[in-house]
Chains A and B, each alone.
Chain A
């Protein structure tokens, strides 16, 4: 699964869900950033990123996630994460990502808390 890159987007009226699969490094991160920027430009400022199929993230992936949080913050938007492994959740808390974005166990909870 880690060898495969994939990004799926589902948009609803008020929000959009981005689901990633594969290693969140520069390549996947840039794709994610581009998709997120596109959604923000289209007026979607309530985003959920589901990382259930992304079990591996490097520091560039983290910096790209921070970039998306900042871009959303400029538009006073909200970003919630879901599907994180225990290590990812600890990493997100340690990297202060959790201060600016919500972390929820599943997509349903992440959407409900936008």
Chain B
């Protein structure tokens, strides 16, 4: 060795020692993230060995590929796939020369051709700690010489070992950070979700927390709808648009009937119904949901793209309430790793999600119970308001009709219904007696009843039902009035909202009673001789508001009937709360008992008949609960 060369070698050795010290400092500096510090490691390696170009690649074992974390010159490189047998070969070799690679690595070097061209790679040095492959450092052309000297090769081995330690340390720190994050999120999520008392907000939070906790990219919460027997989507991330069938009332919610889910139970060969809603769901997803609902344990599946949960790699766990009953299913999808690759959920992930779901179940149950309590309170307030409206619509006292007695009774029982009766003096002459029963309960029923009453009073005051000498005219006017009221109620309510209605026009001068029945219980007429008949029993007439007017003639037209009353005759108008009163043996009061009582007390005053019937019904009812109002209106010819 000539003196100049020896001096140069000594200088480079001194430089190398100082750079090695720098490398050590970088390692213990607290810059644990290798993606940040890798540039320093590469600079030191290239400087120490006097190489102009190079790169450091990091191995991702779950994806079986290498990514370039830093390079000189800078560049953007695609990940390089690597096979397990190629990893095994790399672990056996200290270095690989690009010019003469072993046969087992030729294919790998071909896949890394983009990097090889950019760096002009001469050497590939595996980065490893014992049998764990961590990456590769590549070196380009040597500055001013053809190959590394022996001491340079030894130095390179030391540098590679240092870089390997840095990668392993970085991986360990990343792992600890990830676990720390998950444990914190798990501990943090429970009190946070439990504070949410609104079911929708709780569902959204549960899905968000689960997605974040599992490094997932998709998630969803489906809860069992107890009444509809469906598994219903409450929140999905990313948000997805449910199919809209374009039908009125379509709330754009994904729902799968539970029988379909049950039919998809793993191992069950029953065919799965292909409903429009479930048509978009791949069978593996249904099977997964079925497994969770039926068996109450964790299930995984790989679904086709664009399924119910957006993701393809899915994991689902049961959401259970306090009594371990299954409330629904929590799903996460597409777990990602650094670099964006989607990977399968591990057993540890399943345990983590299950722990989270246990907390979430209690929170969701709490939110639903809170919501139910709120709704019950709201319903109670509504019922009280409805009751006030209804009571105000029932007349306090009935008018005196010359030659007649009239008495009425209204008894609210259970939830607020929609019974109504009235006796109205007409503007010209005559009297109108009305009784009605509005479908449904609560405020809607009370409002519909108010609408009916307002419509009736309006019709009567406008003279539509004015008495005419010709009976045919009265009949026509009553039918016209029924159609007007039908139209009014039809536009005021929904299909389920309607009213049965019985109207009687009394002419006290002629003692003629003209009646129209719109689907109501036929009133009972008890003659003075004790014979009985049911008014309007044989004539048609749909309840008011059920169908539009143009459909009425196609189903059952409104008709009228006329009877002449004689002294001592009694007419008992009533709602189904009378005849459908049940006793403790679940027997109905029925028309027969009404007839017997009315017949027995027909010779008393109208108010006594009314009381007699009421007392008899109450005696029959005994201790049994009732859910429908009871209304009576009694007319008696003196």
Q: Which residues of A contact B (CB under 8 A)?
A: 2-3, 23, 25-27, 30, 55-60, 62-63, 66-67, 70-71, 73-74, 87, 90-91, 94-95
Known: A70-B31, A87-B188. A57 touches B212 (CB 8 A): yes
Residues of A within 8 A of B182 (CB): 59
Residues of B within 8 A of A74 (CB): 31, 36
A43 to chain B, nearest CB (A): 17
Residues of A within 8 A of B238 (CB): 2-3
A26 adjacent to B339 (CB under 8 Å): yes
A107 to chain B, nearest CB (A): 24
Quick one: closest B residue to A100, CB to CB? B30
Residues of A within 8 A of B215 (CB): 25, 58-60
Q: Which of A27, A67, A70 contacts B340 (CB 8 A)?
A: A27
Known: A3-B238, A67-B35, A70-B31. A25 touches B178 (CB 8 A): no
Query: For the complex, is B337 an interface residue (Cβ under 8 Å from A)?
Result: yes
Contact with A along B160-182 (1 / 0, CB 8 A): 00000000000000100110111
Query: For the complex, is B211 an interface residue (Cβ under 8 Å from A)?
Result: yes
A68 to chain B, nearest CB (A): 9
B33 adjacent to A66 (CB under 8 Å): yes
B208 adjacent to A95 (CB under 8 Å): no
B177 adjacent to A55 (CB under 8 Å): no
| Separation of A48 and B80 alpha carbons in the complex (Å) | 35
Q: Which of B178, B188, B212, B213 contacts A63 (CB 8 A)?
A: B178
**6 residue pairs bridging A and B, Cβ less than 8 Å apart:** A3-B237, A23-B211, A56-B208, A60-B215, A70-B31, A91-B181
Residues of B within 8 A of A30 (CB): 340
| Separation of A55 and B370 alpha carbons in the complex (Å) | 26
Residues of A within 8 A of B337 (CB): 26, 60
A1 to chain B, nearest CB (A): 10
Quick one: closest B residue to A27, CB to CB? B340
Quick one: closest A residue to B174, CB to CB? A63
- Top 10 nearest A-B pairs (CB, nearest first) are A59-B178, A70-B36, A3-B238, A59-B181, A26-B340, A58-B215, A67-B33, A58-B212, A94-B184, A70-B31
Quick one: closest B residue to A57, CB to CB? B212
Query: For the complex, is B192 an interface residue (Cβ under 8 Å from A)?
Result: yes
Residues of B within 8 A of A95 (CB): 177, 180-181, 184
Residues of B within 8 A of A67 (CB): 33, 35-36
B188 adjacent to A59 (CB under 8 Å): no
| Separation of A67 and B185 alpha carbons in the complex (Å) | 21
Query: For the complex, is B217 an interface residue (Cβ under 8 Å from A)?
Result: yes
Query: For the complex, is B338 an interface residue (Cβ under 8 Å from A)?
Result: yes
Query: For the complex, is B400 an interface residue (Cβ under 8 Å from A)?
Result: no
Quick one: closest A residue to B208, CB to CB? A56
Q: Which of A25, A56, A59, A95 has the most CB of B within 10 A?
A: A59
| Separation of A22 and B37 alpha carbons in the complex (Å) | 28
Q: Which of B32, B182, B212, B336 has the most CB of A within 10 A?
A: B212
Residues of B within 8 A of A3 (CB): 237-239
A59 to chain B, nearest CB (A): 4
A91 adjacent to B188 (CB under 8 Å): yes
B215 to chain A, nearest CB (A): 5
Residues of B within 8 A of A60 (CB): 215, 336-338
Quick one: closest B residue to A3, CB to CB? B238
Q: Which of B185, B208, B336 contacts A25 (CB 8 A)?
A: B336
A66 to chain B, nearest CB (A): 6
B177 adjacent to A63 (CB under 8 Å): yes
B33 adjacent to A70 (CB under 8 Å): yes
Q: Which of B182, B217, B237, B338 has the most CB of A within 10 A?
A: B338
A55 adjacent to B208 (CB under 8 Å): yes
Residues of A within 8 A of B188 (CB): 87, 90-91
Residues of A within 8 A of B36 (CB): 67, 70-71, 74
Q: Which of A2, A55, A91 contacts B185 (CB 8 A)?
A: A91
| Separation of A106 and B68 alpha carbons in the complex (Å) | 37
Quick one: closest B residue to A55, CB to CB? B208
Instruction: Given A56-B211, A58-B211, output 14 extra A-B contacts at Cβ < 8 Å.
Output: A2-B239, A3-B239, A25-B215, A26-B336, A27-B340, A56-B212, A59-B177, A59-B181, A63-B174, A63-B338, A67-B35, A90-B188, A91-B188, A94-B184
B181 adjacent to A62 (CB under 8 Å): yes
| Separation of A74 and B30 alpha carbons in the complex (Å) | 11
Residues of B within 8 A of A59 (CB): 177-178, 181-182, 215
B551 to chain A, nearest CB (A): 46
Residues of B within 8 A of A71 (CB): 36
| Separation of A87 and B32 alpha carbons in the complex (Å) | 25
Residues of A within 8 A of B211 (CB): 23, 56, 58
A65 to chain B, nearest CB (A): 11
Quick one: closest A residue to B182, CB to CB? A59
Quick one: closest A residue to B181, CB to CB? A59
Residues of B within 8 A of A90 (CB): 184, 188
B360 to chain A, nearest CB (A): 15
Residues of B within 8 A of A73 (CB): 31
Quick one: closest A residue to B237, CB to CB? A2
A6 to chain B, nearest CB (A): 14
| Separation of A110 and B306 alpha carbons in the complex (Å) | 41
B485 to chain A, nearest CB (A): 50
B311 to chain A, nearest CB (A): 13
B241 to chain A, nearest CB (A): 11
B263 to chain A, nearest CB (A): 33
| Separation of A4 and B46 alpha carbons in the complex (Å) | 42
Quick one: closest A residue to B334, CB to CB? A25
A63 adjacent to B184 (CB under 8 Å): no
Residues of B within 8 A of A57 (CB): 212
| Separation of A3 and B219 alpha carbons in the complex (Å) | 12
| Separation of A59 and B176 alpha carbons in the complex (Å) | 11
B77 to chain A, nearest CB (A): 15
B238 to chain A, nearest CB (A): 4
| Separation of A87 and B215 alpha carbons in the complex (Å) | 17
| Separation of A81 and B177 alpha carbons in the complex (Å) | 19
Residues of A within 8 A of B177 (CB): 59, 62-63, 66, 95
